Amino acid sequence: MDKKLFTSESVTEGHPDKLSDQISDGILDAIMAQDPRGRVACETLLTNGFCLVAGEITTKTYVDIAKVARTIIKDVGYTDAEYGFHYETSGVAVAIKEQSSDIARGVDSYKEKNSSGEIVTEDLENLGAGDQGLMFGYACRETPELMPLPIVLAHRLCHRLAEVRKKKIIKGLRPDGKSQVTVEYVDDKPKRIDAVLIAAQHDPEVKLSKLKTEIIEKVIKKVIPHKFLDRSTKYYVNTTGRFVVGGPQGDTGLTGRKIIVDTYGGYARHGGGHSPGRTQPKWTAPVRTRRAGWPKMWWPRVLPNAVRSRLLTLSAGRNR
């Protein structure tokens, strides 16, 4: 019998890195909704009382970037000046330029242009990529999402933390937070939860003992299936004893710094780079079907460099 432990973490929507991701994605969504051919590479940096949006954007439409950023900051929950970051009073600076024409030469491929020089019909077979990248796909039967159990549970805990905060099921919580789940595997199958860690930002008057009890009962035990919990499962809640200063006030946030959280929690390969705030390449790949008896599989996707190269797809399914 082979036993091993595996741990994955996630972060709440109010974590400064994840808030940066959401702002970058919000700007991307706003542009794509009006200009599907727009090109966006948008990065966000957050710190105490300040938001900087920078990058390269080529589009025919207009988006009020500062307004998009403030709306997302508000929706996440930074609505109190005591949090050290506020959607109305924090500064928002925008430093955006157009995509380099040298990069555009490698990306553009067309069959037809109109009299104004605008592309009417793209040549999808020869469409280039604006950058190179390695993408690894992965699937397993541990969850309905076909994702590894540790990262799925970590995400669900953070989602529940946001829910109990916004619905005031647990009073005194603030937007920032993290989760971490350690799963014990026996013969490569998840058997039990060895440990759960929650770090939840809170108001200064909140008592740690009460907060710990509420999070265990109203967050952890509401999310993690009872069959995985036993008397030996360890619970760690705000182990430093205090988590009042958080969010951009306590930690600088940056787009693309949570690439492992955003994929497989470290359980499967990662090619590097990140996707928030970036126009995704226009390419398709065959959907892989899991063969009987294959509990896990992976397949890499390789995007070549931009110099007039086709988007190639290298696929390999392999028994793990």
pLDDT in tens, 224-239: 999 999 999 999 999 9
Asked if the model's pLDDT at residue 34 lies above 50, the reply is yes
List the beta bridge partners of residue 46: 51, 253
Q: Which residue has the tokens 């860690």?
A: 197
Least confident residue range of 32-46, 58-72, 132-146: 132-146
pTM for the model stands at: 0.82
pLDDT at residue 307, as a whole number:
33
The angle, 0 to 180 degrees and rounded to 10, between the axes of the packed helices 16-34 and 65-76 is 130
118 — pLDDT class (breaks 50, 70, 90): low
Using alpha carbons, list the distances in angstroms from residue 118 to 17, 73, 76, 128, 310.
37, 36, 39, 17, 21
Asked if the model's pLDDT at residue 183 lies above 90, the reply is yes
| pLDDT tens digits, one per residue of 209-268 | 999 999 999 999 999 999 999 999 999 999 999 999 999 999 999 999 999 999 999 998
116 — pLDDT class (breaks 50, 70, 90): low
Cα–Cα distance between 171 and 173 in angstroms, integer?
A: 6
Cα–Cα distance between 299 and 297 in angstroms, integer?
A: 7
List the beta bridge partners of residue 190: 185
Q: Which residue has the tokens 């966000």?
A: 44
Residues 6+ apart with CB under 8 A from 319: 294, 296, 297
pLDDT at residue 37, as a whole number:
78
Query: By 3-state DSSP, what share of the chain in percent is helix, strand and coil, each rounded to 5?
Result: 25, 30, 45
The identity of residue 160, as a single letter, is R
Asked if the model's pLDDT at residue 132 lies above 60, the reply is yes
Cα–Cα distance between 100 and 54 in angstroms, integer?
A: 14
Residues 6+ apart with CB under 8 A from 75: none
- Mean pLDDT over each residue of the chain, to the nearest integer: 84
**Selection from 70, 59, 55, 60 nearest residue 22 by Cα:** 70
pLDDT at residue 315, as a whole number:
30
Asked if the model's pLDDT at residue 124 lies above 80, the reply is no
pLDDT at residue 130, as a whole number:
63
Domains and CATH numbers, the chain: 3-12+141-250 (3.30.300.10), 16-126 (3.30.300.10)
For residues 284-298, average pLDDT: 47
Q: Do residues 315 and 300 touch, judged by C-beta distance below 8 A?
A: yes
* Helix H or strand E segment including 296: strand 296-303
Q: Do residues 20 and 255 touch, judged by C-beta distance below 8 A?
A: yes
286 — pLDDT class (breaks 50, 70, 90): very low
pLDDT at residue 136, as a whole number:
81
List the beta bridge partners of residue 235: 196
Positive or negative, the CA dihedral 193, 7, 155, 168 is positive
Cα–Cα distance between 163 and 21 in angstroms, integer?
A: 20
Asked if the model's pLDDT at residue 314 lies above 80, the reply is no
39 — pLDDT class (breaks 50, 70, 90): confident
| pLDDT tens digits, one per residue of 12-21 | 999 999 999 9
| pLDDT tens digits, one per residue of 165-174 | 999 999 999 9
Q: What value does the CA radius of gyration of the chain take, rounded to a whole number of Å?
A: 22
